[in-house]
Amino acid sequence: MPAEALRPSGQGFVSIVGAGPGPVDLMTLRARDRLQRAEVVMYDRLITPEVLALIPEAAERVYVGKALGYHSVPQTGIHALLVQHARMGRRVVRLKGGDPYVFGRGGEEVQALQAEGIAFEVVPGVTAASACSAAAGIPLTHRDLAASCVFLPGHLADDNATHDWAALAKSGQTRVFYMGLQRLPQIAHQLIAHGLAPDTPAAIVRDGARATQTVMATGLRDLVARALGYGPQPGLLIIGETVQLSPDFHPPAQ
């Protein structure tokens, strides 16, 4: 039984929905269903036009996207809007790229809804790490190359952020940095300083799983030099031995 069927009659309901990496055919059936029955849709910056086209014409659209250094609506404001619309008895969809629980602040929004007694559900989506790595031909794990993978936010490289870089520099793992492109030099510096080989395979995947996808893959130190022209655009950074399996991988110059 859908979670929404359990809501009290006349009360609103919030579906926190992961839209996946962009293409409509990589959305789950449940995500499409919730979106097509929505009365209010609060959506993020990276939602593609083809996904937005699924929203009913009668539904209210509320843009709450975020970019580095700019939030169109503060997170606390998003919480307040979710509660407000649900208390008006509406069927609300909080639409996020990827998966709500992987660097999507879905956990924070669930806490806010729980605190106000609002009925909700979470609909998972294909997260960028899975989508971009698959589209670029990079396994996240491999019996001979990587027994584990770790997902990390790019801002871990900030001066005021701390992390166990020595543990991240150890072999046998795939490291995936979300929105890590702008901080690639800092990330590479930290990993190499803590023992990671400078020629460790690494890749940047932009617009992963979309028609506009681009992949740059080589040794980590060379990647830093070659990626300077990418500018501030978002991208997924993947570092680890499995990157060498990508058809786009070019070994670093010796």
Query: Domain-by-domain residue ranges, the chain?
Result: 3-123, 128-245
DSSP 185-224: HHHHHHHHHTT--TT-EEEEEESTTSTT-EEEEEEHHHHH
Residue-averaged pLDDT of the chain: 91
pLDDT for 163: 80
Select the more confidently predicted residue: 223 or 252.
223
Q: Which CATH superfamily is domain 128-245 in?
A: Tetrapyrrole methylase, C-terminal domain (3.30.950.10)
At 188-222, the pLDDT tens digits run 999 999 999 999 999 999 999 999 999 999 999 99
Identified catalytic residue from 33, 66, 199, 248: 66
**The tokens of 88 are what?**
């008006």
Sheet holding 173-178, edge to edge: 148-153, 173-178, 236-239, 201-206, 214-219
Least confident window among 6-10, 91-95, 162-166: 6-10
Segment 57-76 shows an average pLDDT of 83
- What is the mean pLDDT of the segment spanning 122-134? 97
Q: What is the pTM of this model?
A: 0.90
pLDDT tier for residue 235 given thresholds of 50, 70 and 90: confident
CA–CA distance, 7 with 190 (Å, rounded to integer): 49
Catalytic member of 44, 99, 207, 222: 44
pLDDT of amino acid 228? 73
170 is catalytic: no
Superfamily of domain 3-123: Tetrapyrrole methylase, N-terminal domain (3.40.1010.10)
Q: What integer pLDDT is reported at residue 65 of this predicted model?
A: 86
Average pLDDT over residues 23-46: 96
Distances (CA, A) of 9 to 5, 79, 93, 252: 9, 23, 18, 62
What is the rounded distance in angstroms from the CA atom of residue 224 to the CA atom of residue 187? 10
Neighbours of 14 (CB within 10 A): 27
The pLDDT value recorded for residue 66 is 72
Q: Does 1 have pLDDT greater than 50?
A: no
pLDDT at 67: 63
Q: Are the beta carbons of 136 and 246 closer than 8 angstroms?
A: yes
Domain 3-123 shares a fold with domain 128-245: no
> In the annotation, is 44 catalytic?
yes
Choose between 227 and 58: higher pLDDT.
58
Q: Is the pLDDT of residue 59 over 60?
A: yes
